[in-house]
């Protein structure tokens, strides 16, 4: 059930750097965008595996998950 997977993400969402979170999923490109600020205004990005972390100075302002539908399966 997809609902069970969503519920497992609740502790992570509660510890996110913002109380508001914007998401956008590009199904054709299979990319999930998660933003903790609108607009993000990132001035630095770090790629680790298939995840790009976007920073404004030292603050995490967004995450881009590449190959989102398969990247995090089983985690």
Q: How many residues does the chain have?
A: 75
State the average pLDDT over residues 31-57. 93
Residue 40 is part of which domain span? 2-70
Arithmetic mean of pLDDT, 47-69 = 94
Is residue 75 one of the residues assigned to a domain? no
Q: Is residue 39 part of a domain?
A: yes
Domains held by the chain: number: 1
Q: What is the pTM of this model?
A: 0.81
In a domain, 10, yes or no: yes
Mean per-residue pLDDT for 55-62? 94
In a domain? residue 27: yes
Q: Ranked by mean pLDDT, which of 2-6, 18-22, 37-41, 61-65 comes out on top?
A: 61-65
7-41 burial by CB neighbour count: b if 16+ within 10 A, else e?
A: eeeeeeeeeeeeeeeeeeeeeeeebbbbbbbeeee
């Amino acid at each position: 059930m997809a609902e069970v997977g969503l519920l497992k993400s609740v502790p992570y969402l509660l510890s996110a750097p913002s109380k508001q979170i914007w998401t956008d999923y590009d199904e054709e490109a299979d990319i999930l965008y998660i933003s903790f600020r609108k607009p993000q205004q990132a001035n630095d990005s770090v790629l680790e595996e298939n995840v790009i972390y976007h920073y404004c100075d030292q603050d995490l302002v967004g995450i881009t998950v590449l190959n989102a539908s398969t990247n995090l399966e089983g985690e």
